[in-house]
Amino acid sequence: MHRRAFILTSTAAVLAGPALAAKPPVSPFAASANGAAATLEVQTATFKYQMKAMGYGGADVFYELKGAASPTRFKAADALVFSNGEPADVDPQQRFGLFRLATVKNSRRLTTGKVNPLGYGTRNVKNQAAVAFTATRGEAGWTISPAAALEPGEYALAIAPKLGTNTWGWGGAGGGNQVVAAFGVD
């Protein structure tokens, strides 16, 4: 009797697996290059840290995306425009983030903080990777454009939690995974 119940239960779980699987994240941004619609890569960036010399040499705190390069590619000369449907009452410079990512082995990273050797102090370094942008409010939401042409490299857009200040990292206070829209510029 117990064996039949186990077989039926495991068969039901296997058959229902695709229906219960996690849905892929939805892009928080739409994109266009030179007026033509484009699809951005969407990933959930994972919050990680990496200690140096077992912690005695300090540590890096970062968000990591899989893959060394985004499959979504733009040319450096393209006029890029991103849009988002956030309400008008948000400050776009506090709510949105456009960052240049560093490629490390087979991943892309946004380093948000560094811990000094032996844990003596920390510093927020996320803004070193921030890219200046302009944001205008339209009928359907915000339109975001880089303030200057983007240099070749890997980039990501994210939406900050509504904390009121731009101290969020990507996942808000205390870290956490964050859905981001990524792309590369050649």
pLDDT in tens, 53-108: 887 888 888 889 999 999 999 999 999 999 998 888 888 888 889 999 999 999 99
As a whole number, mean pLDDT of residues 141-167 equals 81
pLDDT above 70 covers a percentage of the chain that reads 77
**Alpha helix stretches (DSSP H) within 71-182:** 92-95
**Cα–Cα distance for residue pair 92/132, rounded to 1 Å:** 12
Which residues lie below 8 Å from residue 167, measured CB to CB, with a gap of 6+?
124, 173
Q: Which of 32-36, 115-119, 130-134, 141-145 has the lowest mean pLDDT?
A: 115-119
At 120, is the pLDDT very low, low, confident or very high (cuts 50, 70, 90)? confident
As a whole number, mean pLDDT of residues 148-171 equals 72
Neighbours of 83 (CB within 10 A): 16
CA-wise closest residue to 109 among 146, 161, 70, 66:
66
Beta partners for residue 122, in sequence order: 115
Higher pLDDT, 160 or 69: 69
Neighbours of 68 (CB within 10 A): 13
Q: Is the dihedral of CA 175, 46, 169, 180 positive or negative?
A: negative
Residue located via tokens 């808000």? 172
Beta partners for residue 100, in sequence order: 155
| Rg of the chain on CA atoms, in Å | 20
Q: Mean pLDDT across the chain, nearest whole number?
A: 81
Beta partners for residue 124, in sequence order: 113
Which residues lie below 8 Å from residue 181, measured CB to CB, with a gap of 6+?
27, 28, 29, 31, 40, 41, 42, 82, 156, 157, 158
**Cα–Cα distance for residue pair 127/74, rounded to 1 Å:** 23
**Cα–Cα distance for residue pair 40/19, rounded to 1 Å:** 25
H or E stretch at 14? helix 2-20
**30 half-sphere exposure, CB direction, 13 A CA radius:** 12
